[in-house]
Chains A and B, each alone.
Chain A
Amino acid sequence: EAGVAQSPRYKIIEKRQSVAFWCNPISGHATLYWYQQILGQGPKLLIQFQNNGVVDDSQLPKDRFSAERLKGVDSTLKIQPAKLEDSAVYLCASSLQASAQPQHFGDGTRLSIL
């Protein structure tokens, strides 16, 4: 079974630029999550999708972050404009359904803001 795929693996941009990350979940997984992991901290949920609908985006900084999952499969997370504090690893995870299912994680995208 193929795992959660993310790209790119690394990205370096200057502050105020924009950036986008892509995630392809495990086939058949209805729930998709984006997490932000700042160095030395545990991951923090940014947004949770159930199919193509948003379940929870309470911690997403909506003035600069946006995410979509238009066809209920792969997803894109965008930051525009980026700030220095956005330097982090962005992890995508998926699960069959939200309810008490284990989440499977991709290797993440490491973002550095100069």
Chain B
Amino acid sequence: KQEVTQIPAALSVPEGENLVLNCSFTDSAIYNLQWFRQDPGKGLTSLLLIQSSQREQTSGRLNASLDKSSGRSTLYIAASQPGDSATYLCAVTSGTYKYIFGTGTRLKVLA
């Protein structure tokens, strides 16, 4: 059974700092991994999607890497800003392409 874990559960950093969020999964037989952002009271906004054959994806200040063999992904945020404060969720797809989500990392960037 696929399990997804995110560490740390919460993170507070000063503005401008570079930071790394971690996601690990137990079954390497995945189709893809997706990182989402969730603001309070809102749905999920897709940030980056990495197919199983890819190693990384980049969008602006965000870079996500995938090491399928070790069951790990990292989301790197460069030069963090207060507007980056949110909960970040990773999810993997396998089987019928359903998403298995981690419990998220709550990020707070202090001005």
A25 at the B interface (CB under 8 A)? no
Q: Say whether B96 contacts A56, CB under 8 Å.
A: yes
User: Which size bracket describes the interface of B in this complex?
Assistant: 20 to 34
Residue of B nearest to A108 (CB): B43
The number of residue pairs between A and B whose CB atoms lie closer than 8 Å in the complex comes to 62
CA distance A81 to B100 in the complex (A): 27
Q: A43-B101, A56-B98 are in contact. Are A99 and B46 (CB under 8 A)?
A: no
Q: A41-B103, A105-B43 are in contact. Are A98 and B91 (CB under 8 A)?
A: no
Q: Which 8 A-B pairs have the closest CB atoms?
A: A42-B101, A105-B43, A98-B97, A105-B44, A107-B43, A45-B98, A56-B96, A102-B49
Interface residues, chain A, with chain B CB atoms under 8 Å away: 4, 31, 33, 35, 40-45, 48, 55-56, 91, 93, 98-108, 110
Interface residues, chain B, with chain A CB atoms under 8 Å away: 4, 31-32, 34, 36, 41-46, 49, 51, 89, 91, 93, 95-104
